[in-house]
Structure 1
Amino acid sequence: MSGLAAVLAGRHAPGVHRWDSALDVADVRHAVEHAGWAFGYVDGAGLDTVADVLRGIGEALAFPDHYGHNLDALNDCLRDLAAPTVLLWDAWGGVAHAEPRRFAVLVDLLGTRADGDPQVEVLLRGPGPEGVVPLLG
């Protein structure tokens, strides 16, 4: 968990990273919340479109009912997060293969936060296309 620990401690900039870890989701949640960050989890199995993923992210991060399930709404809701947040996304490779261009736009949005926005770390866990995002060490 050293790469994640570095993010949580402020020694590594948050963003979107591949993460090779076999830790149970509950253990990751515990570590993240113990560090004072919020936690969300997306099980990407069966989420074959970016639209499916947007719904999954909204549920994982408990976005408000008015969340519009589109990229603009995602950006707005990420800016309104109450705390720095880690989003663990298992089985991300399906949508990355199915919609590579839309996936790239989604990754860019998730990884780009403006000054003053809450920090967001997205951990992509499981197999997926190589070279799409850097590995968190």
Structure 2
Amino acid sequence: MTGPLPAPGLTGLFIGTVPPGLYRLPPTETASRVISLAAEADWRVATLPLGGVADKAGFLDRCAAALDFPQWFGRNWDALADCLMDLSWWRDESKARGYLLLAEDWDAFRKAAPKDARTAETILADAVDYWADGESPLAALLG
């Protein structure tokens, strides 16, 4: 489901030569560099720090807090999908060329809760597919 970011990497993602997708963050890249490159390309970035998250409840709580989800977020898989299909919580008045969700410490979460991580990946992949053909696509990097 999740694959490596194809060449030319982040630059290609942000200029549109690499299709938006659900990718592994290249090990040579840092969160600060990703955020900087995204900002230069007029992409909005939301960072999801997953350090210490070991289950579904923790993952959904972290999503709600770190991504500043709306009050109606129900802390379940369906509500996560709803938030990722309706990015109004993330948008502001200015137009972005794209949206990037950067999940940090994904491998630790995946090891602690493999089934929950697979479900979350499926939801992320569905959201990325949903926004793929829009003016402002969604991409996700799992670091």
Decide: shared fold, TM above 0.5.
yes
Q: CA shift at 1:50, angstroms?
A: 2.5
With normalisation by structure 2, the TM-score equals 0.73
Q: CA shift at 1:37, angstroms?
A: 1.6
Q: Match of 1:103, as an amino acid?
A: A
User: Is the Cα–Cα contact under 8 Å of residues 44 and 53 in structure 1 kept in the other structure?
Assistant: yes
Residues 61 and 119 (structure 1), Cα distance of their counterparts in 2 relative to 1, 3 Å cut: farther
Q: Comparing both structures, which one devotes a greater share of its residues to helix? A: 2
Whether 2:27 is the aligned partner of 1:25: answer no
SS in 2 for 1:88: strand
Structure 2 match to 1:132: none
Q: CA shift at 1:34, angstroms?
A: 2.2
Deviations 1:53-94 (A, max 9, x none): 222223333211221121111111112213532111121122
Structure 2 match to 1:104: 118
Residues 24 and 18 (structure 1), Cα distance of their counterparts in 2 relative to 1, 3 Å cut: closer
User: Is the Cα–Cα contact under 8 Å of residues 8 and 18 in structure 2 kept in the other structure?
Assistant: no
Structure 2 match to 1:6: 12
User: Is the Cα–Cα contact under 8 Å of residues 38 and 86 in structure 1 kept in the other structure?
Assistant: yes
User: Is the Cα–Cα contact under 8 Å of residues 48 and 67 in structure 2 kept in the other structure?
Assistant: no
**Percent identity of paired positions between Structure 1 and Structure 2:** 28
With normalisation by structure 1, the TM-score equals 0.76
Whether 2:62 is the aligned partner of 1:56: answer yes
Between Structure 1 and Structure 2, how many residues are aligned? 125
Whether 2:104 is the aligned partner of 1:90: answer yes
SS in 2 for 1:42: strand
Give 1:120-135 correspondences, 5 Å limit. Answer: 120-125=138-143
Query: Structure 2: 5+ residue runs without aligned partners?
Result: 1-6
Residues 120 and 45 (structure 1), Cα distance of their counterparts in 2 relative to 1, 3 Å cut: same
Distance, in Å, in 1 between the alignment partners of 2:71 and 2:28 is 33
